[in-house]
């Protein structure tokens, strides 16, 4: 699950040379998801626009999509970052609106309605600037990770099944810098990654609530250069890592159940594109991947592909841009078929 970064979007787009653009061509039922057919699950795209508005689109299990991107109300103000995850039939969304404490909202699977975004009430959490956020679901609980913009502390809080939150955020550790957080459920654990100074750090929250140490994924899975963005997807007992490096190349690696790694490999299906951000989700036992692409005309579009259970990749498709303007970046989640 990934986080929308409106400020970074502006910095990066402005830094891309015109010549380069001209040459450019993208929870709680996770165990059941791994066993169910992809047709039984919906994929959800959340995209933040450059104007600070949030859009949602659903890809049904049969591969069809709604006719347009839907507006997601963010009455509290301008959206800077967002992360989403499926929890039972619902899609839970955590966002940084304006500057300050992260907010939380729910899209109900039964009727497609949204709750209002409200501040996460846990005390002593990230509250400075456009807060980094990431969310994952485990055993009917929502795990939220955050870090203040420009901060060094990675923090964590939990929303229980009854809707109550932990009284306070806990600080997991500090890094030299934090430019992105990603997290996902893998079996009975929560895997979390932090991009810090171009290095991809990873740790696991065990089922008893304790944590492993933080390792460098590239030390185990191979060097792919400076890492800009990362997306995680847990499929069965495996962690899938999709990373975007400083050259705009998308790589994929897998951490197996025995803690060994399948090395990073270039996702060649995306090699003709110039992605700005990447998202991934387990959708019925397959990994669906979305990117925001820097198009040849200088605009941006959303692309989508699927890594099948046999390791093959589906041809990349463009997601219609109806009611979508200047997408910044993308987050993805999955829920059982709903509305």
Cα–Cα distance for residue pair 102/117, rounded to 1 Å: 9
Q: Check residue 104 and give its pLDDT.
A: 97
Task: Give the fold, CATH level 3, of 6-25+27-336.
Answer: Neuraminidase (2.120.10)
Q: Check residue 205 and give its pLDDT.
A: 99
**Bridge partners of residue 211, in order along the sequence:** 205
Q: Which residues have a Cβ under 8 Å from the Cβ of 248 and sit 6 or more positions away?
A: 274, 275
Please answer whether residues 20 and 12 qualify as being in contact, where contact means their C-beta atoms are separated by less than 8 angstroms.
no
**pLDDT at residue 31 is higher than 70:** no
What three-state secondary structure class fits 217? helix
Cα–Cα distance for residue pair 274/268, rounded to 1 Å: 12
Q: Check residue 6 and give its pLDDT.
A: 47
Cα–Cα distance for residue pair 58/71, rounded to 1 Å: 12
**pLDDT at residue 88 is higher than 70:** yes
pLDDT band at 100 (very low <50, low <70, confident <90, very high): confident
**pLDDT at residue 19 is higher than 80:** no
**pLDDT at residue 34 is higher than 80:** no
Span 253-307, pLDDT tens digits: 999 999 999 999 999 999 999 999 999 999 999 999 999 999 999 999 999 999 9
Which of 67 and 108 is assigned the larger pLDDT?
Answer: 108
Per-domain residue ranges for the chain?
A: 6-25+27-336
Span 178-211, pLDDT tens digits: 999 999 999 999 999 999 999 999 999 999 999 9
Per the prediction, the chain carries an average pLDDT of 90
Span 45-61, pLDDT tens digits: 999 999 999 999 999 99
């Amino acid at each position: 699950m990934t986080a929308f970064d409106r400020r970074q979007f502006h910095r990066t787009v402005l830094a891309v040379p015109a010549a380069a653009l001209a040459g450019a061509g993208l929870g709680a039922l996770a165990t059941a998801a791994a066993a169910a057919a992809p047709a039984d699950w919906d994929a959800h795209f959340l995209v933040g626009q450059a104007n600070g508005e949030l859009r949602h689109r659903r890809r049904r299990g049969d591969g069809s999509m709604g006719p347009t991107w839907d507006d997601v109300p963010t009455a509290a103000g301008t959206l800077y970052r967002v992360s989403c995850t499926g929890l039972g039939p619902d899609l839970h969304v955590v966002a940084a609106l304006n500057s300050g404490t992260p907010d939380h909202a729910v899209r109900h699977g039964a009727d497609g309605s949204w709750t209002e975004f409200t501040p996460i009430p846990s005390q002593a959490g990230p509250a400075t600037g456009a807060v980094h956020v990431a969310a994952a679901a485990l055993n009917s609980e929502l795990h939220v990770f955050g870090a203040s913009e420009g901060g060094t502390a990675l923090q964590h809080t939990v929303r229980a099944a009854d809707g109550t939150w932990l009284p306070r955020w806990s600080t997991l550790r500090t890094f030299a810098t934090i430019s992105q957080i990603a997290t996902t459920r893998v079996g009975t654990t929560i895997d979390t990654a932090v991009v810090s100074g171009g290095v991809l750090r990873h740790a696991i929250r065990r089922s008893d609530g304790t944590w492993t140490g933080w390792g460098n994924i590239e030390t185990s899975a191979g060097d792919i250069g400076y890492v800009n963005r990362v997306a995680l997807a847990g499929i069965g007992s495996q962690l899938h890592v999709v990373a975007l490096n400083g050259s705009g190349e998308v790589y994929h690696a897998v951490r197996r159940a025995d803690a060994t790694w399948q090395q990073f490999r270039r996702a060649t299906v995306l090699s003709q594109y110039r992605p700005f951000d990447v998202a991934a989700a387990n959708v019925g036992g397959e990994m669906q991947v979305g990117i925001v692409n820097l198009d040849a005309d200088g605009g941006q579009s959303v692309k989508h592909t699927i890594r099948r259970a046999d390791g093959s990749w589906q041809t990349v498709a463009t997601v219609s841009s109806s009611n979508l303007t200047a997408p910044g970046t993308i987050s993805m989640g999955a829920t059982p078929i709903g509305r």
